[in-house]
Homo-oligomer: A and B are copies of this chain.
Amino acid sequence: MALTATERTTLKRLPERGSHERATVRSILDEGIVCHVGFATERGPVVIPTTYGRVGDDLYLHGSPASRMLRTLKHGVPVCVTVTLVDALVLARSTFHHSINYRSVVVFGTAVEVTDPDEKAAALAAFVEHIVPGRTADARPATIKEVSGTLVLRLALAEASAKVRVGPPIDDEEDLALPVWAGVLPFTARPGPARPDAFVPDDVEVPAYVAAYDRPCS
């Protein structure tokens, strides 16, 4: 099922790389770890990296109530949230045609503060499950004080689109015979090994969801 294309989410250049498919947008968001949040301030644009969670067709941002970013966004300031995955380096025969295979999602909208305690608790769990699936069953849940001490914002995945480059380099035909190696160097984020902190009791082993961690999470 596709999201509705808008002026802002329609690619002007290389439109064949664009997608409004909900499944594509979701899978890129779920694989990413940090997003980049852009908004205007009195002193110009700001782009801040932060973690996020997704529940259905909503994206959640969170942090301290003292966070300048969250305090600004909760007033309904327009925001752009971008998530980018680098999949491979693309080595062409010519300097000019070098590229990157990547998948990115851009979300436009305005965020609203989440005040309902149940939605807030679900969002807080989503932040952790997004990063380490299975973790919330082990970790101590947030207390009422911690929940109320966290500012959570919701941004609808309504005006969103994906952009994807895949495949080999696209060289000029007259360069194909050059004796230059060309191809793709895949680039994968690999986890591990896990390092316990100093206070973990000896009989507490590394959980399976940490030892077998991979991304995208299965």
Contact of A106 among B47, B182, B184, B194 (CB under 8 A): B47
Least CB separation from A104: chain B residue: B49
Q: Does A1 contact B (CB under 8 A)?
A: no
Mask, A162-189, CB within 8 Å of B = 1, is: 0000001101000111111111111111
Contact of A188 among B13, B48, B189 (CB under 8 A): B189
A36 touches B181 (CB 8 A): no
Question: Within 8 Å CB of A125, what residues of B?
Answer: 95
Contact of A186 among B40, B102, B192 (CB under 8 A): B192
Contact of A8 among B33, B43, B171, B179 (CB under 8 A): B43
Interface size class of A (residues with CB under 8 A): 35 or more
Contact of A185 among B93, B188, B192 (CB under 8 A): B192
Mask, A85-104, CB within 8 Å of B = 1, is: 01001011111101010101
Q: Which of A47, A100, A128 has the most CB of B within 10 A?
A: A47
Given that A43-B8, A45-B79, A138-B181 are known contacts, is A34 also in contact with B102, CB under 8 Å in the complex? yes
Q: Does A19 contact B (CB under 8 A)?
A: no
Q: Which of A36, A176, A187 has the most CB of B within 10 A?
A: A36
Question: Within 8 Å CB of A43, what residues of B?
Answer: 7-8, 108
Name 22 A/B residue pairs within 8 A (Cβ), A-sorted. A8-B44, A13-B67, A33-B86, A33-B100, A33-B187, A34-B84, A40-B44, A49-B82, A91-B139, A93-B140, A94-B146, A96-B142, A138-B181, A140-B178, A176-B199, A177-B201, A179-B201, A181-B205, A182-B197, A184-B195, A187-B189, A189-B189
Binding site for B on A (CB under 8 A): 7-8, 12-13, 33-34, 36-40, 43-49, 51, 64, 66-68, 78-82, 84, 86, 89, 91-96, 98, 100, 102, 104, 106, 108, 124-125, 127-128, 131-132, 135-136, 138-143, 146, 150, 168-169, 171, 175-201, 203-207, 210, 213
A36-B36, A95-B125, A95-B128 given; name 4 further pairs at CB < 8 Å.
A40-B44, A49-B82, A95-B136, A96-B142
